[in-house]
């Protein structure tokens, strides 16, 4: 069995800046005055419950179903209140009206965990991390961060059930599972990255 990585989600206490993992996917950040909020639209069910629990772990009471953040027919918006602590994140991730990671942005297990909760899906021999459909300027930097974390992904476009990064191969899946830690309570079987150290360890 592999040792826990220093970059895994369980290696340190959760931090509010870990929510940048939502921005790597389809999450959005909005500024207002000296505050900002991060939200993501997800299907009703386990993802909503998991995001609420993960937000509680960093001391944030989630806001669910905000009509300003989502069309109800598209899912439920789960997000933070307006927080001064998120303003620096918003400034770093915003280029005018465009969302993009700051230069040199890195992704670790804690940030990856948020992305998996909000937008990850598993299939045999692969795991898919969905991207924001309108966030194309951010995709290359996010992909570079994945590669630097040891889990390079294959970028697939909208015609191939994307946009998303697809993590393929047992060695990379083992690494991903090591980084993101155990699934949140209520996660359906097969929805979380899985490891098989007998194959590709």
pLDDT at 10: 54
| CATH number, position 55 | 3.10.28.10
29 within some domain: yes
Separation between Cα atoms, residue 147 and residue 141, nearest integer Å: 10
96 within some domain: yes
Please, which residues have CB within 8 angstroms of residue 19's CB and are 6 or more apart in sequence?
A: 27, 38, 58, 80, 86, 89, 114
pLDDT at 9: 47
pLDDT at 195: 78
- What is the model's pTM? 0.89
Separation between Cα atoms, residue 199 and residue 188, nearest integer Å: 23
pLDDT at 150: 94
Cβ–Cβ < 8 Å for 22, 114: yes
> Which mean pLDDT values do the consecutive 10-residue runs of the chain (201 residues) have?
46 83 96 96 94 95 72 79 97 92 95 96 93 95 96 92 94 94 91 75 45
Count the domains in the chain.
1
193 within some domain: no
pLDDT at 190: 85
Q: Extract the runs of DSSP E, i.e. beta strands, from the chain.
A: 28-32, 35-42, 63-64, 76-79, 94-95, 98-99, 120-123, 126-130, 154-156, 164-168
pLDDT at 160: 81
Q: How many CB atoms lie within 10 A of CB 104?
A: 9
186 within some domain: no
Separation between Cα atoms, residue 197 and residue 157, nearest integer Å: 30
Instruction: Provide the domain limits for residue 107.
Output: 9-180
Cβ–Cβ < 8 Å for 165, 131: yes
Q: How many CB atoms lie within 10 A of CB 133?
A: 10
- Furthest-apart CA atoms within the chain: distance in Å: 52
pLDDT at 69: 46
33 within some domain: yes
pLDDT at 198: 61
3 within some domain: no
pLDDT at 68: 54
Cβ–Cβ < 8 Å for 137, 98: yes
């Amino acid at each position: 069995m592999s040792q826990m990585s220093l970059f895994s989600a369980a290696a340190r206490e959760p931090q509010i800046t870990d929510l940048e993992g939502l921005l790597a996917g389809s999450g959005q950040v909005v500024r207002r005055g000296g505050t900002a909020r991060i939200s993501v639209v997800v299907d009703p069910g386990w993802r909503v419950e998991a995001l609420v629990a993960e937000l509680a772990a960093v001391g944030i009471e989630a806001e669910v179903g905000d009509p300003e953040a989502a069309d109800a027919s598209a899912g439920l918006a789960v997000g933070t209140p307006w927080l001064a602590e998120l303003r620096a994140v918003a400034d770093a991730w915003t280029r005018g009206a465009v969302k993009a990671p700051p230069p040199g942005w890195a992704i670790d297990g804690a940030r990856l965990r948020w992305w998996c909760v909000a937008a990850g899906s598993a299939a045999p021999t692969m795991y898919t991390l969905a991207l924001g459909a309108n966030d194309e300027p951010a995709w290359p930097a996010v992909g570079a961060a994945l590669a630097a974390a040891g889990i390079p992904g294959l970028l697939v476009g909208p015609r191939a059930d994307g946009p998303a990064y697809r993590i393929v191969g047992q060695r990379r899946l083992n690494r991903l599972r090591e980084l993101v830690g155990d699934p949140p309570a209520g996660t359906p079987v097969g929805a979380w990255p899985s490891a098989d150290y007998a194959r590709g360890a």
